[in-house]
Chain A
Amino acid sequence: MRSLVNKTLLAATLGMASITHATTVDVTFNIPQPDAERYAKPYVAIWAENGRNAEHLLVWHLQGEKDKWLSDLRRWWRKIGRYDHQMDGLTGATKGPGQYSKTFEINDEWDTFTLYFEAARENGGRSLMKTQIDTTDGHQQYRIPAEDELGDILITIN
């Protein structure tokens, strides 16, 4: 509701007659089941970047005091993790192999941004995947092909 008000205000101040921008992003992705002798659930982070600004969306990591490995999500760590961002409600425990769907609200002042996905697994690989999203060009679906630590990612802009 708040974002709708924001959008309306923005449209009004800019005198825009066009429809409001899409800011809701549905993301479907897959955590693969690798053939690993000592499998550990991967750390996963999702965030959006616009220039030097970053908006945190999700991080799955080991909970509790013992967590020493967040900095292994290299890019996420540099852009978000190492700064004290407010992340309540945007973190969760690590998840095993399977299909996951998430819906995010992205800063609606951003017409274009890059959506990042990073996954790192102990004794395993690390994948950094991204796609640029333009909310003004009518393009509604994006697909990022699978890498080692994350399967195909399907992104739908609403």
Chain B
Amino acid sequence: MAIEAQPRSKAEDFLRAVVAHDADGAIVVDQHGTVRFLNRAAEQLLNRHGAELKGQVFGFPLVVGERAEVEVLRPNGEFAVAEMRVLSIEWEGQDALLITLRDVTFERQAEAALREAEAFSIAILNSLTSEIVVLDEQGKIVAVNEAWLEFGRRHGVTDVSTIGVGADYFAICAAAEPGTGGPAVLQGLQAVLAGELNEFTYEYPVSTPEETRWFALRAVSLRSARKGLVVAHNDITQQRRAAQIAAEAEMLREQVRQMERELANVEAISRPDDMARSRLAPLRQRDAEHFQRALNRYGELLEAALASRVHRLPAPSRSLRELGEWLGSIWAAPRDLIDIHLQAMRDRSQDHTPKKLQAYFEEGRLLLLELMGHLASYYRSIAAGEVSFRE
């Protein structure tokens, strides 16, 4: 503002005219901070009359850099946020300061609302137990949730910035060791981004010295104006265990189906005339106490078989034959043996590592087949009249 180049009175008149019509609030204060002049916009901003303020101490304005932000107080207790700038001028022949106040309340409220919305989005992400990563169209991470960072920490990531906002997820996939599925995942993510796939899923194991856990990655397009991807990782170890148990059960059914056919013949021959055993209900239903007793004994033999495997000792075959014969004596059918076996597996599936569970499956399968064999032998003996049926 070239004030000094003009005669003082004209320069002041010019300045007064400019300031008076300025859309921003303008207050002229002397070196003590006392108000000498204020324009209409300043009156509106402060919601006070100029006459009330002239001669009152507004304060000596301090800014660091070009501007400072202040709250402007109104008589009704409300306040506005204003951006304050200060300029040294001459006013009525004395050194003075021109304070301009631009009302930025709306902008700050909008920014606060935006921050709140972002915080709300992050809170939603953090409330999810799935590990979530949001990527931009270049594959850069633009948002993650706490579960994702915790997942990284649990798996040895010491610097979370390497898996946090700003990290290059595509580059991480591309740099993954061969055989880890990194390139396949990268290809899948890019296909979703290009609109070739609606979603991409990939299951992968993560091993620690203690255990192996399975995760499912699911990537979908970000539903917003910005292009991007939402990648969710879910721990599916439990589901995989359940599927493994179901597959084991199915395989066992296949294996015993043949034995059942063989047993059916033996059973028919050995069956006393007064018993219509083929119409008997499953052991679990018709005799819960015997079922539980058989389950307990089977469990003991399973544990013993596992211990034998670990310590390389011979398996307790005699006890298994005794159990087979006892089951025969209470007219257990092959389906009852399968029922007992599967219950024993289910009882153990909750509290054991996948490795131990696998050992139970392998030992249990052998045990069950052997038990079936003992049951078949028992029925054959009855059929041949070597053993008499005992109730």
Do A and B assemble together?
A: no
Interface residues, chain A, CB within 8 Å of chain B? none
